[in-house]
Structure 1
Amino acid sequence: MKIFIWLIVVLMLGLPVQATEEVLSFENEAQRRLYLQLTAELRCPQCQNQNIADSNAVVSVDMRQKTYDMIMQGSNRGEVLDYMINRYGNFVHYQPPVNRYTLWLWLAPLLMLLGLVGLQLKRRQQQANEPLSVQPQPESLDAELDKLIEQYRSKK
């Protein structure tokens, strides 16, 4: 009986969490899809790499509301993105445009890959140019160890 009461208490504690979801009404399905696409595509300027659909930061709530308002006023995807980028910068869009400021974002992975390939080729070339080292025979190791032990004992 106690378990049943605890189960009901735990379930009741979860009710306020469900009540925090936004309820937005759209005129048609295309507007709803556009809204969902944009909120997933826009990054929260305050959060660590989180889109505005998943963030509860104040700035994300404001961005979601502005996105909704613009869609309801008839703005298309490009207009909403332009507004958000002009207001918050290229950081808010997960796919920044290619320009002189963001070029390094696009080229960095390629340059890193080329650097790693170059290092690997250089390492292989060095290994190919090195002469094969002769491994000491176990008997000579024993003789060297005996010699070192003898030198150590003679110092005492």
Structure 2
Amino acid sequence: MKWLLRLIVLAALTLGPLIAHAVQPAEMLSDPKLEARARAISTGLRCLVCQNESIDESNATLAHDIRVLVRERLLAGDSDEQIRNFLVSRYGNFILLKPPFEPGTYLLWLTPLILLLAGGGAIYLNTRRKPPPAPANLTSTEATKLAQIVGHTDDH
């Protein structure tokens, strides 16, 4: 019986985040097609407060306001692209979870590749490094001094 309880808890912890949404019933549109479009749009928009989740998942007040705005614009007859363009003009490309590949976002998109290449180059150069030269043999004078020092420390 304990295994069943553990299985249920594991399933809830694993699947819970997949079905968690911050969208409140009062926000939802009565038309299922429009609501599906609103959800599709809002899952691609970044919460400007949380910054690491979509407005569809965020409980922030600003995320709620943007979700409502998306639904209002859908009811006004705007296309999905018009809504995204409106939000980008208002908040910038940062509102998009996947910003476009354009001059203003090249660094954002290319930084992982640059870091990967730099790391690979550093590993390559490190493995190609010449081994340090072997230490030179001691001269007879140095060997005698060393023997005296070692012999001298043994007396103490």
TM normalised by structure 2 equals: 0.67
Deviation readout 1:82-115 (Å, 9 max, x if unpaired)? 0111111111101112222211001101111111
What aligned pairs does 1:68-87 form with structure 2 within 5 A after superposition?
Answer: 68-87=71-90
What aligned pairs does 1:18-33 form with structure 2 within 5 A after superposition?
Answer: 21-23=24-26, 24-29=28-33, 31-33=34-36
Instruction: State, as a whole percentage, how many aligned pairs show the same letter.
Output: 25
TM normalised by structure 1 equals: 0.67
What aligned pairs does 1:1-150 form with structure 2 within 5 A after superposition?
Answer: 21-23=24-26, 24-29=28-33, 31-126=34-129, 129-130=130-131, 150=152
Counterpart secondary structure, 1:98 = coil
The number of residue pairs the alignment matches comes to 121
Deviation readout 1:57-102 (Å, 9 max, x if unpaired)? 2211110001001112221111111011111111110111222221
Q: What is the root-mean-square deviation in Å for CA atoms of aligned residues?
A: 2.6
Unmatched 5+ residue regions in structure 1? 1-19, 135-143
CA distance in structure 1 between the partners assigned to 2:96 and 2:110 by the alignment:
18
Quote how far apart the aligned CAs of 1:32 are.
2.2
Unmatched 5+ residue regions in structure 2? 1-22, 136-145
Please say which of residues 113-122 and 39-48 is displaced more in the overlay: 39-48
CA distance in structure 1 between the partners assigned to 2:84 and 2:107 by the alignment:
22
1:151 paired residue among 147, 150, 153: 153
